[in-house]
Structure 1
Amino acid sequence: MSSPLAIGAVSAVLRNLLDNGLVEAGAAMGVTVDVSAVAPDMIDLDNDDAPLKLNLFLHQVTPNQGWRNADLPSRGAASGERLTNAPLALDLHYLLTAYGRADFQAEILLGYAMHLLHERPMLDRAAIRRALDPSPLDVSMLPPAFQALTASDLAEQVEQIKITPSAMSTDDMSKLWSAIQTHYRPSSAYQVSVVLIEGTKPAVSPLPVLSRGKRDTVTHRDRGVVVNPDLLPPLPTLLTTVPQTEQTAARLGEPVTITGVRLIGAGHVVRLSHRLFAAPFEIPPTAIDAAGAKVTFALPNDAAAQSALAAGQLAVSIRFVPTGEPDPHETNAIPLLVAAAPVIAADGVLGLPAATATRGGVPPKVTVKIASRPQVRREQRASLLLDSVAANALPRANNSDPLVFEFPDTVTAGQHWVRLRVDGTDSVLIDRSGPAPAFDVTQRITVPA
């Protein structure tokens, strides 16, 4: 693959090709031609004694569609480690412009140049090495470590450099010259592809596979690919999480049922992950059905869980040793919504105070202080709704501090239904244990007059 100097190297090789070709044709043309590779607005048009000029201008660089997805993925999904050095594949778009002083000079010069590129539609590796030895690139502006890089890496890349005429509409050509802010001259567009720039950083590559599954102790043959006579996923897979009574979210102390396939095995551990957890929170299941389609566990409701768990959307996976396998496997992760249950009445077991609502202050307002199970982390977004009126939580110093909400004084006196919303997940207000859904009468708070 090429080094980062490849773009400049392509321009240098093309300029060398045009320069050598025009030198050979100089006797036929009868004049001296100067070949450059600068922006058109840098061409001096006021000097009448200047020689004829042919300019090669790189006006656009685009990703190559055929190579841009090669060697993907280039980084691991788990920790982001580098797996491959995916190449930066680029197409270079050039504008070839001829400048002349007398009649037909620009047209003749452009014709010679276009014929040269037509005869050399591909830059062979030997021509690239000749054009870049010694290197025409100015690497003095680069750090010393990079000055040792030579543009000859261009000749070593897998793909050869191909030169293709590119048709530009009158509108595109007009926009380009307007952007350059200089006078139009006879020009022809070319696409040069593909330049492959690749890094050389260390990558992670797995070791070769020794066997496909366990080996037979007698024949020493591996088990091979296991085929299941059904349309289910071939690996242990989780499908859904179902809170108690099919509530919208689970609460601490309540059971959760996980449905899935191929969950038969031993040593099951339910793992809960969250963006604020340093490590997954592990819970042993309470029941596993014989068919391996359901696993039930209970969210703990002790003081440790109160501070360790978090409300909002958690990721649930199961780690276990499948039947017939020597090593433990971890399933896919599926979402589980955990609701922060507002503590209305005092909780003597966990030492959580009862919720309070007061009215007063300047300007007048209604202030509600409330704790929750589990604790709401300071990094989380929390809001409280009294019926349909919402207020955001005020900043706190510690996770264990009660949540404080300030409502406008327009909140009426009396009882209000309470919903605590944490990271978009509402507390459970509807009781679905009966024959018909009903509001949970314990989720109310009294606002004084």
Structure 2
Amino acid sequence: MITAYGAKDFQAELLLGYAMQVLHDIPLITREMVYTALKHAAAMTTFGALSQVLATLSLDELADQVGTIKLCPEFFSMEETSKLWSSLQTHYRPSAGYQASMVLLSRRTSAKTDLPATAPNIQQPTIERIESSHTGGIRAGDALILHGQRLQGTLTYLRINKRSGLLNPETVQDKQITLRLPPDLPAGIQSIQVVHLNHSHGSPEEIQSNFAAFVVQPTLRVQVNSVKPLKSNLCHAELLLTVNPFITANQPSLLLLQSTSSDFSSVQINIPSSDTPTDTLTISIQVAAKRYWVQLQVDGVRSEAVEVEVGG
């Protein structure tokens, strides 16, 4: 749960909104973030229980125990929110819930002894950071820019998500590589790796970089159909959603509607997963007649908001 405090009116709401925007753009906690947080906690005070525990541990080793953590928004009902804050025994503050996943632990020692080295170490390529060629989120088909060290080899390729197939980069330099992402790359968290092919010993040999994570954002078009007025300013409608790239089989997705008016009312609809890939969805809704911001969340990553009018 993430919560915010402000001494004046609306400061907490603004701060919480900014934090949620950051988590929307980058829904990840990396090893580097964990290390920085642990280092800061250890430096704040030497009297707290956490600081005393951290003083007995290697922060580098502790941070390395954690893989990349994915954060997904988790909707709490009013009843669940009330129970949660009651258990905390403190006054309610504006808050938002998130589900964290993919925490990995590894052994401190190796299960077997490594064989002695018989050849000098090969200089492996290293990816340090990834950026898009334009502002905003990364989408399928966009140009991706990788920054790092020793990226250029005799034969340089890229691998996405540990697939067997290798991709050709557009440009290659020692500290920068540009790649055009496949147009069918699914939305969600992806990983990429630089691969050098070495033929010096006859058969091709791969020299691989570290895996670096990036997030592919879905794009969304919305068409409102079959609007039927109901009582109490409610209406029934069907939303035709066109998504790019395809939602893959069994890929989790969620529809979010946020009122554009000052009441900030919202609706969240879980979309049943399909056994086959699809780029169109028809969703039936029953909501108040007004304008909404519509977003589609695919595998934990939200599209940009599309403004539509439902029965207005």
What TM-score range do you get, normalising by the shorter chain? Answer: 0.5 to 0.7
Distance 2:269 2:293 in 1: 14
CA contact (8 A) 1:265 1:323 kept: no
The reply to whether residue 73 of structure 1 matches residue 110 of structure 2 is yes
The residue that corresponds to 1:320 in the other structure is: 196
Once the two structures are superposed, residues 240-299 of structure 1 have per-residue CA deviations (whole angstroms, 9 ceiling, x without a partner) of 11123242x31122111111111121322221117xxxx35642111123xx11111112
1:72 counterpart letter in structure 2: T
| TM-score, L = length of structure 2 | 0.52
Per the normalisation by structure 1, the TM-score is: 0.38
Map 1:43-442 → 2, pairs under 5 A: 72-74=109-111, 84=112, 209-212=117-120, 235-247=124-136, 249-273=137-161, 279=163, 282-289=166-173, 292-301=174-183, 305=184, 309-321=185-197, 327-344=205-222, 355-360=223-228, 365-387=236-258, 389=266, 390-400=268-278, 402-412=280-290, 414=291, 416-429=292-305
| 3-state SS of paired residue (2:156) | strand
Q: Give, in whole Å, the separation in 2 of the partners of 1:70 and 1:315.
A: 23
CA RMSD of aligned residues (A): 3.5
CA distance in 2, matches of 1:418, 1:244: 26
Between the aligned partners of 1:70 and 1:285, the Cα distance in structure 2 is 36
Q: Is the 8 A contact 2:244 2:279 kept in 1?
A: no
User: Are the equivalent residues in 2 in contact too, given 1:418–1:444 (CA < 8 A)?
Assistant: yes
Counterpart-to-counterpart distance in 2, 1:312 and 1:257 = 18
Secondary structure of the corresponding residue to residue 134 of structure 2: helix
Structure 2, gaps ≥5 residues long = 1-105, 260-265
The number of residue pairs the alignment matches comes to 195
Amino acid across the alignment from 2:253: A
Q: For residues 61-88 of structure 1, give each alpha carbon's deviation from its aligned partner in whole angstroms, at most 9, with x where no partner exists.
A: xxxxxxxx999322xxxxxxxxx4xxxx
The answer to whether the 8 Å contact 1:265/1:320 transfers is yes
Provide closer, same or farther for how the CA distance between residues 264 and 322 of structure 1 changes in structure 2, counting only shifts above 3 A.
farther
Bigger mean CA deviation after superposition, 371-380 or 397-406: 397-406
Q: Which has the higher contact order (CA 8 A, sep 6+)?
A: 2
How far apart are residue 368 of structure 1 and its match?
A: 1.5
Structure 1 or 2: more strand by fraction? 2
Separation (CA, whole Å) in 1 of partners of 2:164 and 2:258: 35
> What percentage of aligned pairs have identical amino acids?
19
Report SS of the residue matched to 1:242.
Answer: strand
Q: Is the 8 A contact 1:253 1:299 kept in 2?
A: yes
Q: Once the 2 structures are TM-superposed, how far is the Cα of residue 444 of structure 1 from its aligned partner?
A: 3.7
AA paired with 1:422? V
**2:110 aligned partner, one-letter code:** P
Relative to structure 1, the CA distance from residue 397 to residue 263 in structure 2 (aligned partners, 3 Å threshold; closer, same or farther) is closer
Segments of 4+ moved more than 6 angstroms: 322-326
CA distance in 1, matches of 2:218, 2:272: 17
- Change in Cα spacing, 1:375 to 1:410, as seen in structure 2 (3 Å) is same
Amino acid at match of 1:338: V
- Give the greater-gyration-radius structure (CA): 1
